Structure 1
Amino acid sequence: MIVGTAGHIDHGKTTLVKALTGVDTDRLPEEKKRGISIELGYAFLDVPEVDGHTAPRIGFIDVPGHERLVHTMLAGATGIDHALLLVAADDGVMPQTREHLAVLSLLGLREGAVVITKADRVDAERLAAVRAEALALVQGSSLADAPVLAVSAHSGLGLTELRERLWAAARAHAGRNDRGDGAFRLAIDRAFTLDGVGTVVTGTVHAGSVAVGDELVRMPGGQRVRVRSLHAQNRVVERAEAGQRCAVGLVGLAKDEIGRGQWIVAPAAALATDRLDASLTLWHDEAKPLRSGTPVHVHIGAIDMPGTVAILDEHGVSGDPGPATDRLMPGATARVQLILRSPVGAWHGDRVVLRDASASRTLAGGIVLDPHAPTRYRRTPQRLAELAALALPTLDERVAALIDAAPNGVDLNRLAAAQGQPLSALQARPHKPSTTHSHDGWALGSSQSEAARQALLAALSRFHAGHPEELGPDTARLRRLALPRLPEPLYRALLTGLQAAAQVLVRGAYVHLPEHGIQLSATEERLAQKVSPALAAAGYEGAWVRDLARDAKESEPLMRVTLARLAQRGELVQVVKDLYYPPATMARLCAIAREVAHAHDGEVTAARFRDATSLGRKRAIQILECLDRIGLLRRVGDVHRLRADSQLYRESGDDRDDRQTRTAVIRAT
């Protein structure tokens, strides 16, 4: 359990921690000289055995109390489990007492105590007055039910009771720590070097566990590092867990490459964002509402990042049936989007606190709902439904509700990272039976799957009605016609399901309804078989109608009509007028185009394709223009770019044989 002190400057935070633990957390020369805390300080307290059972050590974070150092206080406060709000008996409640209470409340801390320090300096009447003042202060805050204890670090008054309360809280906390199942995340609040160890970072473990030898990722940045050594709760360990203060010795990172505000995380949780959606509550003592566009300081993890606020909900008070507004009223809660100056690490459920633009006042606090916030359509009913799903209390509920709310499916890899979970944690959840499609890390709800099937079949019917002479659209074109926003893996799975159910037929890359087809006459069938060897032997140069007619001793008009019918059936490819290729040859040309594109950042030029095929420049250009028309490539200036969604002649696994190329379909218009 991590205990954090809070309170006004010179109200005895450091002295109390020393009295409880024996450790002076003021370690800097400037702190010793001035007698105040400037940086975060750390100490630890062992918990005695009870009935043979021990609880983990208690870690203390001693935060500065000066008004100019609230940002440092926040860097430590976001990782604490139990708060001690200190009020000096001689001073009473002071400005930073109020602000620190606001911070603790906005962070959602409900466990803690109000500690009246320096009780030996005042008489009983004054002590009773300060107690009443403290009780009045916490009313309406998250610590409203916290006990109020009077102590003296010098005389020892009340220390035994406080220590025993902390021990009891630590034992209870150890039995219900629910943060250990996620991917490892540590918010860095210090970085330094040690001889023989190298770079060391310290912070609070927010989730998961880590062991010596594990590979982690620095976020933001994405740099891979390895764990060389671990200290948890000030002890050498082989494994550290959520809720502990941890020092991590790292391999692969210099001290000047990492610092406060960054994270080290398991690869499964690696993400950084400069735009996140959150549920936010404006502090009830604020005099004015919070408006969209307000510049703020955003505190999340151990970082302080400038940003702005956009109110997403229509009403300033949750559930208020009044007129739409872009204001969040004092004491109200609403969903907002935070737009940050630079990327930060943030995950679902992380606490966030806002201070004003001058960093002089704490304004609001809440929790992150989605670190992958959209730039567009952020206030639509669809998006707000997704945020409502993400606000549900358990992971199972969130995943199931989000899949039900998402018309175009859910990227489970992206969702898992945002939830701070490995993908396997989502795939093992009981939401899977309710989904019709789960493919390549995507999931689509059952009702959405049925709607997508109907949309695809309707689009095919419209295409056949408008283009009766054509076999059907290629798969990429059909997706653009019917389901342009459906992710490609889900579209492929949907099409495969329709094909298996015989609701559509697929010839290579072209799709048509079973009742739609182009029939050949007996003469055309005979002629097709007669010229098939010549077409295959033509190679990358292709075969001309006149040459095929001459060699087959058939009339040129009949040959032209027959080859055009074969192209309409998807059994030949017409590159330019009267120039044809069999699918097997076109498959090899498409494979070459893909290889060229993959070797040159997705781009294919006429010169590179010419060299790769040993064709002349004119023929290379004709083929590339054909590939543009049928959807494998897209012309951009003087280059042709590979379309990522095109499945034309794509080979995979056991399908890399002539069977696939014989059934592949490309039609040039």
Structure 2
Amino acid sequence: MSSSKKGLMEQDLSKLDVTKLHPLSPEVISRQATINIGTIGHVAHGKSTAINAISGIQTVCFKTELERNITIKLGYANAKIYKCEDDRCPRPMCYKWVAYNICNYEDSPMCDVPGFENCRMKLLRHVSFVDCPGHDILMATMLNGAAIMDGALLLIAANKSCPQPQTSEHLAAVEIMRLKHIIILQNKVDLIQENVALNQHEAIHKFVQGTAAEGAPVVPISAQLKYNIDAVCEYIVKKIPIPERNFTSPPNMIVIRSFDVNMPGSEVDDITGGVAGGSILRGVLKVNQLIEVRPGIVVKDESGNIKCTPIYSRIVSLHTEENLLQFAVPGGLIGVGTTMDPTLTRADRLVGQVLGEVGSLPEIFVDLEVNFFLLSRLLGVKTKGSEMQGKVPKLVKAEVLMLNIGSMSTGAKVLAVKNDLAKLQLTSPVCTSKGEKFALSRKVEKHWRLIGWGQIQAGKTLDITACTPLG
């Protein structure tokens, strides 16, 4: 066994008792992240660089992203946060972040603060970072990432005025997603003078008044120089608690990425099944467990009627970073290796679907009856150098909107609207539940702009009992 695996706490399915699991259990936290933290904010304010400073991982990795130097797809990186066990070790230097490939738990790193070099460090958090794109045309992708966040780092560049358009829009989006735990990072302080930084610090506090970020700490950093990153780690531990997790319910995971991991030209006998990546909302997934994916295969007949065929499969592997798991718990980003035809998972084709125990997943809706709430003004749009302050127009019958439900983005035609109630016809079927919240967007100046949120009250569901599941 390699030295990096030496201290891994063993996972034994035969001894698994889900009633005794906890996000900080050694056999869990040593192997997988148990909390998801997103980075939000305007384009080029340093979200990807901040994650790289903490995790050592470059989340911008696709060719088009590297060429344009922007995040286009959701990026991921994991890191562990340790604290020196000697209480005399000064803060924030007593906090240490370690890249994901340090897998050991018992063989923890040693403190490197002068005078405390021989002190052991205790693992406090294993974090999955979700790097959201900041460009205005990628708002739908950002909302997909927000669906799994337990907390967020709001990046604000110190050398720009506050707020920038997507700073406002992203903050409104995480409020809609009921996200309460936010840390504000005042990035690029190395590029400005101290008095300018102090003035912007006050502007940030004024901007977040009355929002979910009111009272949030504002941490000055330089992500490029890795300045003050230990303070960020301290605030992550102290200000973003691990949410209560449900380990005993049937497992339910929303898919935010899916892959075909086979190389071109692979021999038939060497082909492996498709991989679904996402975050478990509740329950525990286990190797060899039978699973169902909904809505599954979606087709339209000659009359335009939608038919959904759920996909049945089996879990052949669970992994996070380089760690193979026997079971995976809520929190963190998990890759689920399956027996599915890899053409079904290629190029994110399963994004927005729900994976879980056979027969336990929510119903599939094609029409929704919702109550909705519109924002008081339009966010994220610039006109003539200033942010548009106009009111959001009311919903109109027959207009097409965009809904983000979980990790699913779908078009929605307004069939009827009265006061704050609406009936919507979905472009794509969605596996969801009554009471679920969603984000509502409208096309403004050729781009989708966030205009409000809503809650599902009822809807028309598809009967899938007549379908032959695809296994």
- Are the equivalent residues in 2 in contact too, given 1:191–1:255 (CA < 8 A)? no
Structure with greater proportional helix content: 1
CA-to-partner distance for each residue in 1:468-509, whole Å, 9 max, x for gaps? Answer: xxxxxxxxxxxxxxxxxxxxxxxxxxxxxxxxxxxxxxxxxx
1:27 aligns with 2:61: yes
Deviates more, 1:146-155 or 1:180-189: 180-189
Q: State the alpha-carbon separation in 2 of the partners of residues 269 and 250 from structure 1.
A: 18
Deviations 1:353-407, CA, capped at 9 Å, x for gaps: 111045431011244455xx259xxxxxxxxxxxxxxxxxxxxxxxxxxxxxxxx
Separation in structure 2 between the aligned mates of residue 10 and residue 98 of structure 1, nearest angstrom = 15
Question: In the superposition, relative to structure 1, how do residues 42 and 70 fare at CA in structure 2: closer, same or farther (>3 Å)?
Answer: same
- For the 8 Å contact 2:125–2:237, the answer to whether it is kept is no
Distance, in Å, in 1 between the alignment partners of 2:455 and 2:248 is 19
Q: Which moved more, 1:2-11 or 1:200-209?
A: 200-209
| Structure with more contact order per residue of length (Cα contacts < 8 Å, sep ≥ 6) | 2
5 Å matches for 1:567-582? none
Say if 1:114 and 1:347 are closer, same or farther in 2 by CA, change over 3 A: same
Q: Distance in 1 between matches of 2:321 and 2:124?
A: 12
Distance 2:455 2:79 in 1: 30
Please give the per-residue CA displacement for 1:122-165, whole angstroms capped at 9, x wherever unaligned: 11222122222222222222222322111111333321111111
Tell me the residue number matched to 1:345. Answer: 431
1:85 Cα shift? 1.1
Deviation at 1:233, TM superposition (A): 6.1
What does the per-residue CA deviation read over 1:109-130, in whole Å, with 9 as the maximum and x for residues that have no partner? 1111111110111112221222
Q: Distance in 1 between matches of 2:456 and 2:83?
A: 38
Q: Which residue, 261, 267, 270 being the options, matches 2:352?
A: 261
Matched, 1:362 2:429: no
1:22 Cα deviation after fit: 0.6
Deviations 1:286-329 (A, max 9, x none): 403533534310011222101035787xxxxxxxxxxxxx244x
- Amino acid in structure 1 at the alignment position of 2:157: A
Cα distance in structure 2, aligned partners of 1:34 and 1:71: 19
The answer for the alignment partner of 2:146 in structure 1 is 77
Question: Match for residue 291 of structure 2?
Answer: 216
* 1:350 Cα offset (Å): 3.7
Matched, 1:66 2:100: no
Alignment of 1:576-615 (within 5 A): none
- Distance of 1:281 and 1:149 partners within structure 2: 33
Hey, what does 1:187 align to over in structure 2? 254
SS in 1 for 2:247: coil
Matching residue within 326, 330, 334 for 1:238: 326
Look up the SS of the partner of 1:85 in the other structure. strand
Aligned pair in 2 of structure 1 residues 280, 10: CA closer, same or farther (>3 Å)? same
Distance 1:290 1:120, change over 3 A: same
Whether the aligned pair in 1 keeps the contact of 2:366 and 2:430 (CA below 8 Å) is: yes
Q: Give the Cα separation in 1 of the matches to 2:455 and 2:338.
A: 30
- 1:229 and 2:317 matched: yes
- Residue 15 of structure 1 pairs with residue 15 of structure 2: no
1:350/1:243 CA distance change after superposition, 3 Å? farther
Q: Secondary structure at the match of 1:220?
A: strand
Q: Secondary structure at the match of 2:48?
A: helix
Normalised TM-score (structure 1):
0.49
Structure 1 contact 57–233 (Cα < 8 Å) conserved: no
Give the aligned residue type for 1:283.
L
How far apart are the structure 2 equivalents of 1:202 and 1:303? 14
Kept after mapping to 2: 8 A contact 1:109/1:143 = no
Kept in 2, the 8 Å contact 1:185–1:205? The answer is yes
Q: Is the CA contact 1:114–1:148 (under 8 Å) kept in the aligned structure 2? A: yes
SS of alignment partner, residue 274 of structure 1: strand
In structure 1, the partner of 2:181 is 111
Name the CA distance, whole Å, in 1 between partners of 2:195 and 2:59.
32
2:203 equivalent among 130, 133, 149:
133
* One of 391, 406, 411 as aligned partner of 1:306: 411
Q: Which runs of 5+ in 2 are unaligned?
A: 1-34, 86-120, 263-269, 297-309, 379-390, 464-471
**CA–CA separation in structure 1 for the residues paired with 2:279 and 2:455:** 18
State the partner residue of 1:295. 400
Q: Secondary structure at the match of 1:4?
A: strand
Superposition RMSD on alpha carbons, in Å? 2.6
Cα distance change, pair 210–353 in 1 and its aligned pair in 2 (3 A): same
Distance 2:448 2:143 in 1: 13
CA 311–58 in structure 1, closer or farther in 2 if over 3 Å, else same: farther
Counterpart Cα distance in 2 of 1:367 and 1:259: 24
Provide the identity percentage: 26
Instruction: Mark the CA change 1:89 to 1:46 in structure 2 (over 3 Å): closer, same or farther.
Output: same
Q: Which amino acid aligns with 2:353?
A: Q
| Matched residue SS, 2:334 | strand
Distance in 2 separating the partners of 1:136 and 1:339: 40
Unaligned runs of 5+ in 1: 313-325, 329-334, 376-413, 415-669
Partners of 1:30 and 1:300 in 2: CA distance: 27
Greater displacement, 9-18 / 300-309: 300-309
The 8 Å contact of residues 106 and 281 in structure 1, kept in 2 or not, is answered as: no
Deviation of the 1:190 alpha carbon: 1.7
Does structure 1 retain, via aligned residues, the 8 Å contact 2:159–2:192?
A: yes
Distance 1:292 1:103, change over 3 A: same
Equivalent AA in structure 2 for residue 178 of structure 1:
R
- Aligned pair in 2 of structure 1 residues 368, 130: CA closer, same or farther (>3 Å)? farther
Aligned length: 353
1:283 aligns with 2:375: yes
Q: Higher strand proportion, which one? A: 2
Does 2:273 correspond to 1:273?
no
In the alignment, is the contact (CA less than 8 A) between 2:82 and 2:125 conserved in 1? no
Q: TM-score, normalised by structure 2?
A: 0.69
Change (3 A) 1:359 1:205: farther
Q: Is the 8 A contact 2:374 2:392 kept in 1?
A: no
1:47 to 81, 92, 101: 81
User: In structure 1, what is the Cα distance between the partners aligned to 2:194 and 2:83?
Assistant: 36
**Structure 1 residue 209: deviation in Å?**
1.8
